[in-house]
């Protein structure tokens, strides 16, 4: 018997006790659609208020620039997150693979990254000095990245499994709408706050602290969701090496999944654009810092909310068409960055990048779940970032390094870099055109939409 075999998991939620292998009655999750949607949406709304501060926005690059960080140093933050996403999920998925109910782990794992940002904020408020601002940020951001990387695959599997297959895209779209609407509100507040207080260690410390508190409260929103019991696969009782070797073989034999990952390289290009375009706007297009870390965020999440509405609720729109709209948005955004002359066009770029990133995020979990063909798709959610590591970790560092090396080219260095990213996105169209999305997913989604 291994240590993991001796752990007796006791979780008490919804009046349902799970003690070790005790069976619980499965229920039709369709009747809990409203309850599960509200529960996850409340959690995501609170997380959405804080996410523009630490992730998926221009605030961190602008803050790090204000404390003297170079392009390469800013790029390292993306690499830290990618490495965390590549390795940490394996441990999280394996340790939760024998737990038939995933709500408990989903809630408690979110506490880890929340605490890291609270402590980062407190440090800047009471002990921060510009000399150590960057290394301290890297320490706490690494903690945040590890915690979030442990959370994401468990969370992704949980938010898919609490909805019926034909409701998953709609349910996740509502949840992501709540998150992105909160991000939009956060961007508005951030614009005025930074405009009034300026960018300093103390103001950034207060912003980080409040973001961490929102994360912590939002983590418990999921406690009210209802789920069915997972059937525990026999591979869960193997050693960690055997467990993941089995699922690595499963993924590598899955041609559709490999094509999906290749076409998803586009997403890494979008993340890199979001990381560096604000610095480009400030340094070479005379955009004020409060606008870059405030107004840009607003337009990013106006685009995100638009993606939620169009891609999540438009009836009879096939999955491949939804992805085609996402890719079109990405290409238009990078084309504008390459040939950008007017400052006002940065707002259009923000909208398009927000649309692209949010659209991909809301479709990713249900599509991977269907491509896997597994009831518990957590191993796929863990293995996918590992396979994408050379791109997701390599691109931010490579771009930061190139921008520093060719800094003498000034704005032209950024334009050349964005042109290279555009080429990568165009090449990702090849696997996309060869990819067929699961027929059962299309059939379930379309047939259910025709009934509504």
| Residue 144 confidence (pLDDT) | 97
Pairwise CA distance, residues 337 & 357, whole Å: 16
Note the helical H segments in 201-290. Answer: 201-219, 240-252, 255-263, 265-284, 289-290
Band the pLDDT of 451: cuts 50, 70, 90: very low
Helix (H) or strand (E) holding 12: strand 10-13
DSSP class of residue 285 equals S
pLDDT in tens, 190-206: 878 877 777 788 889 99
Least confident of 147-156, 168-177, 288-297: 288-297
pLDDT in tens, 342-363: 778 899 999 999 999 999 988 8
**Averaged pLDDT of the chain:** 84
Band the pLDDT of 29: cuts 50, 70, 90: confident
Higher pLDDT among residues 58 and 208, named by residue: 208
Residue 80 has a CB neighbour count (10 Å cut-off) of: 18
Residues 246/373, Cβ–Cβ less than 8 Å: no
Between helix 111-126 and helix 201-219 the angle, nearest 10°, is: 160
273 is a domain residue: yes
Looking at residues 419-433, what average pLDDT do you find?
A: 96
Our measurement of the distance from residue 83's CA atom to the centroid of its chain's CA atoms, rounded to an integer in Å, reads: 14
Pairwise CA distance, residues 393 & 86, whole Å: 9
| Residue 21 confidence (pLDDT) | 34
Which residue range(s) make up the domain with 443? 44-171+183-225+237-451
Band the pLDDT of 441: cuts 50, 70, 90: low
399 is a domain residue: yes
| Residue 444 confidence (pLDDT) | 53
6 is a domain residue: no
pLDDT in tens, 275-329: 899 889 988 888 887 788 778 888 988 998 899 888 877 767 888 899 999 999 9
26 is a domain residue: no
38 is a domain residue: no
Band the pLDDT of 233: cuts 50, 70, 90: low
Q: Which two tokens stand for residue 12?
A: 């008490």
290 is a domain residue: yes
The pair phi, psi for residue 13, each rounded to 5°, is -145, 150
Looking at residues 220-237, what average pLDDT do you find?
A: 77
Looking at residues 103-119, what average pLDDT do you find?
A: 94
Query: For 204-243, b where at least 16 C-beta lie within 10 A, e where not — what string?
Result: bbbbbbbbbbbbbbbbbbbebbbbbbbeebeebebeeeeb
Most confident of 57-66, 230-239, 402-411: 402-411
CATH number at residue 210: 1.20.1250.20
Higher pLDDT among residues 443 and 311, named by residue: 311
The pair phi, psi for residue 126, each rounded to 5°, is -115, -25
Q: What is the pTM of this model?
A: 0.77
Pairwise CA distance, residues 199 & 197, whole Å: 7
| Residue 273 confidence (pLDDT) | 93
**How many structural domains are present in the chain?**
1
37 is a domain residue: no
Looking at residues 31-56, what average pLDDT do you find?
A: 90
120 is a domain residue: yes
| Residue 218 confidence (pLDDT) | 94
Pairwise CA distance, residues 133 & 401, whole Å: 21
């Amino acid at each position: 018997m291994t240590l993991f075999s001796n752990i007796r998991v006791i979780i008490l939620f919804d009046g349902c006790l799970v003690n070790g292998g005790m069976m619980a009655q499965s229920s039709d999750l369709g009747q809990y659609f409203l309850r599960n949607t509200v529960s996850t949406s409340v959690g995501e709304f609170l997380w959405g208020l804080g996410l523009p501060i630490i992730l998926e926005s221009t605030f961190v690059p602008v803050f790090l620039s204000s404390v003297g960080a170079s392009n390469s140093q800013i790029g390292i933050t993306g690499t830290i997150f990618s490495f965390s996403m590549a390795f940490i999920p394996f441990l999280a998925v394996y340790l939760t693979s024998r737990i038939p109910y995933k709500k408990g782990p989903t809630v408690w794992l979110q506490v880890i990254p929340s605490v890291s940002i609270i402590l980062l904020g407190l440090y800047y408020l009471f002990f921060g000095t510009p000399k150590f601002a960057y290394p301290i940020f890297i320490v706490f951001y690494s903690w945040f990245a590890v915690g979030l990387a442990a959370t994401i695959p468990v969370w992704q599997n949980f938010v898919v499994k609490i909805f019926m297959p034909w409701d998953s895209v709609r349910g996740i779209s509502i949840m992501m709408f709540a998150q992105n609407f909160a991000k939009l509100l956060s961007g508005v507040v951030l614009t005025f706050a930074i405009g009034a207080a300026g960018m300093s260690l103390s103001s950034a410390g207060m912003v980080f602290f409040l973001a961490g508190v929102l994360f912590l409260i939002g983590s418990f929103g999921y406690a009210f969701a209802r789920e069915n019991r997972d059937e525990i696969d026999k591979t869960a009782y193997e050693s960690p090496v055997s467990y993941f070797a089995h699922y690595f073989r499963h993924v590598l034999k899955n041609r559709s999944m490999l094509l999906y990952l290749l076409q998803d390289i586009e997403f890494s290009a979008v993340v890199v654009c979001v990381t560096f375009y604000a610095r480009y706007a400030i340094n070479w297009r005379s955009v004020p810092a409060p606008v870059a870390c405030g107004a840009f965020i607003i337009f990013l999440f106006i685009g995100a909310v638009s993606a939620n509405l169009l891609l999540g609720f438009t009836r009879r729109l096939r999955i491949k068409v939804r992805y085609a709209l996402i890719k079109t948005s990405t290409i238009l955004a990078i084309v504008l960055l390459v040939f950008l002359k007017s400052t006002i066009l940065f707002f259009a770029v923000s909208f398009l990048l927000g649309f692209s990133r949010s659209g991909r995020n809301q479709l990713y979990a249900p599509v991977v779940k269907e491509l896997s063909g597994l009831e518990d798709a957590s191993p796929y959610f863990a293995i996918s970032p590992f396979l994408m590591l050379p791109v997701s970790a390599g691109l931010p560092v490579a771009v930061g390094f190139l921008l520093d090396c060719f800094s003498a080219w000034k704005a032209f260095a950024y334009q050349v870099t964005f042109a290279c990213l555009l080429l990568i996105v165009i090449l990702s169209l090849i696997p996309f055109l060869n990819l067929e999305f699961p027929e059962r997913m299309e059939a379930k989604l379309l047939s259910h939409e025709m009934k509504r």
